[in-house]
A and B are shown apart, each in its own frame.
Chain A
């Protein structure tokens, strides 16, 4: 009988050890799910996986050779977030550049509502890999754009391509999605008025 009991106790001890480990794994996997968020961000930043570009200005192309032997076509694509009556388009649909050469493209936005708004553009590059070689020295997407009712604005974007851009990329698309941040950006709006 006493042997039976000690067996039982051994069982209990064995159980609680396994349970503790399993519960720890559950916690770990829950944390892992959240850890994937910054990991994914970092991964995309390094690999260009999701085509996001940095939203800070790059250094100028000083000291960089312009590679005149190659021409790359950059296409521009613009969209306004669903249901918002603004007009937003680039002055040219695409341009051809040599890697290393600085170009400026103007984008035009028009607020077709009778309210002041704050707009924010979000860039994305496809194929994503090209985003690693796209350097913007100036871009409207770096900051929010306050627009008065009915205002029309011309917004410049200046960029060059890193000559290290792989040979196989001849063409890529830079896309801008324009979001309405009026609610979130109210504080800034009041300042600029």
Chain B
């Protein structure tokens, strides 16, 4: 992608606007419609949620450090696993991606802002309230939701406490926020591209987000429907999921996973886009197979609607259905394999250097693939009877979510921090963060495979004595990983307070794309006049 842009021009515009349109203090953040401000707020919010959800994980790991009950009682333990899952999925990973989309999509396609800036402000500001409502349920009688992030009926209907109402309400708000964000992304990409930026010239991060946004539009309303049914089953006498009233609890699982499986791709497709930007930059070669990347992303998104019941093999499906979902799931490995192949081919014979964004991306490629392999194991119906609901599943989804989604978000943050803040991040601290994270995350999650295969169930506060050693190792890894993230906090704060070497407009020699044609830090307004692509 060759790009020419009149730097002076956009810098000049930015200078004017700096003084004209930027309110100060709290008002700036409350009323901002600027995509960069909103992006930053999303990113800080998601990091805060990451720390909150992480603390809950550490509470879980502290209890599991030894067999027997030591620190927290089983009911509180269940609240911890539930809220940890909900917060990490809806509070940490998804908002982080929306924050990146806000910052980068307009700059990558040469647009002055998101298409719907006022809605953008709303979609961010309702989120903190959603999580305040969710977290306040800890203070209700019976405590916070304890039915797992999957809120299976009848756990969430017959056997739940009244915090379910708060859970449902806050899920509605989160859903609205995601839907608004998705609409904004789609409209921006369809209508705001700079002249000459046709679809097949868009950076892959834009492409993957475009497809993700359609997934959000398709499944968030279904989630809203399911939580509504849970609410009416619990409080208004309906029987969607209650067999006694003619409903079917298994229907809950079908509806939930119809949302749930596309949801896991919502959390990984933008990662694919990030890694597809970073690897070419540090391998100093164009991305191998750009078009095949786009088609692979689209086919993964399409297939994600046909695999939901791989989460439900043990509910007793007819053989034909089991086989169908098993083979469809394995089919997804094909486009995913294409992607991994393309990343590796991009690096092949490249002039590689190993700056921190590249290190996180490399770790992503390897560790995400490990998560993909355990996923294929779980897709095999007969063996899933053994793996289902064990720590093997916990290991699997943390490899794809933590070393997949979260590592790619870290990579993105390091890659674009110079652009956002105008200073280079602290290189030493960033490398320290990477190596500490890489080592501890494997101490944390790899041994979970083994206890899982040996039969340790998930969502359990106590375990058989023979699992003690491995759980101790896992817990130590957990605390190391958790505290390593504070190094990232230090790096981010240093950048936010402009402590560091000033960053040039394009700090990475091999980087491509319009975002590097504007100065660092990116001026408050960029591309008021569309660049020529």
- When distances are taken between beta carbons in the complex, the residues of chain A under 8 Å from B192 are 11
Q: Select B225's contact among A11, A34, A179, beta carbons within 8 Å.
A: A34
* Interface: B190 (CB within 8 A): yes
Q: Mark A156-193, 1 if CB is under 8 A from B, else 0.
A: 00000000000000000000010101001000000000
Nearest-neighbor residue (CB-CB) of A32 within chain B: B222
Q: Select B254's contact among A14, A36, A52, A122, beta carbons within 8 Å.
A: A36
**In the complex where A36-B254, A36-B258 touch, is A29 in contact with B219 (Cβ < 8 A)?**
yes
Q: Mark A25-42, 1 if CB is under 8 A from B, else 0.
A: 111111011101100110
- When distances are taken between beta carbons in the complex, the residues of chain A under 8 Å from B221 are 26-30, 32-33
**In the complex where A15-B115, A120-B244 touch, is A36 in contact with B250 (Cβ < 8 A)?**
no
Q: Mark B206-225, 1 if CB is under 8 A from A, else 0.
A: 00000000000111111011
Q: Which of A26, A30, A34, A120 neighbours the largest number of chain B CB atoms within 10 Å of its CB?
A: A26
- When distances are taken between beta carbons in the complex, the residues of chain B under 8 Å from A40 are 248, 251, 254
* Interface: B291 (CB within 8 A): no
CB distance from A43 to the nearest CB of B (A): 10
Q: Select B187's contact among A18, A34, A184, beta carbons within 8 Å.
A: A18
Could you tell me if A15 and B116 are in contact, using CB atoms closer than 8 angstroms?
A: yes
- When distances are taken between beta carbons in the complex, the residues of chain A under 8 Å from B182 are 22
Task: Report how many residues on chain B are interfacial, defined by Cβ distance under 8 Å.
Answer: 34
Cα distance A128–B218 when bound, in Å?
30
Cα distance A130–B304 when bound, in Å?
31
Nearest-neighbor residue (CB-CB) of A22 within chain B: B183
Cα distance A106–B321 when bound, in Å?
35
Nearest-neighbor residue (CB-CB) of A14 within chain B: B191
Q: Mark B175-218, 1 if CB is under 8 A from A, else 0.
A: 00001001100110011100000000000000000000000011
Within 8 A of B (CB), among A31-73: 32-34, 36-37, 40-41, 44, 47, 49-50, 52
**In the complex where A14-B191, A15-B187, A126-B316 touch, is A30 in contact with B222 (Cβ < 8 A)?**
yes
- When distances are taken between beta carbons in the complex, the residues of chain B under 8 Å from A30 are 221-222, 224-225
- When distances are taken between beta carbons in the complex, the residues of chain A under 8 Å from B318 are 47, 49, 127-129
- Determine the main DSSP class of A at the interface with B: helix
Q: Which of B220, B224, B244, B255 neighbours the largest number of chain A CB atoms within 10 Å of its CB?
A: B244
CB distance from B85 to the nearest CB of A (A): 21
Q: Select A26's contact among B116, B179, B229, beta carbons within 8 Å.
A: B179
- Determine the main DSSP class of B at the interface with A: helix
Q: Select A177's contact among B222, B224, B243, B250, beta carbons within 8 Å.
A: B243
Could you tell me if A18 and B191 are in contact, using CB atoms closer than 8 angstroms?
A: yes
* Interface: B88 (CB within 8 A): no
Nearest-neighbor residue (CB-CB) of A128 within chain B: B318
**In the complex where A22-B217, A36-B254, A50-B248 touch, is A11 in contact with B191 (Cβ < 8 A)?**
yes
* Interface: A113 (CB within 8 A): no
- When distances are taken between beta carbons in the complex, the residues of chain B under 8 Å from A127 are 316, 318
* Interface: B288 (CB within 8 A): no
Could you tell me if B244 and A81 are in contact, using CB atoms closer than 8 angstroms?
A: yes
* Interface: A1 (CB within 8 A): no
**In the complex where A15-B116, A33-B225 touch, is A122 in contact with B244 (Cβ < 8 A)?**
yes
Residues of B within 8 A of A (CB): 115-116, 179, 182-183, 186-187, 190-192, 217-222, 224-226, 229, 240, 243-245, 248, 250-251, 254-255, 258, 316-318, 321
What are 23 A-B interface contacts by the 8 Å CB criterion? A11-B191, A14-B190, A14-B191, A19-B183, A22-B186, A22-B217, A23-B183, A29-B219, A29-B220, A29-B221, A29-B222, A30-B221, A36-B254, A36-B255, A40-B254, A49-B317, A49-B321, A50-B250, A52-B248, A120-B244, A126-B316, A177-B243, A184-B245
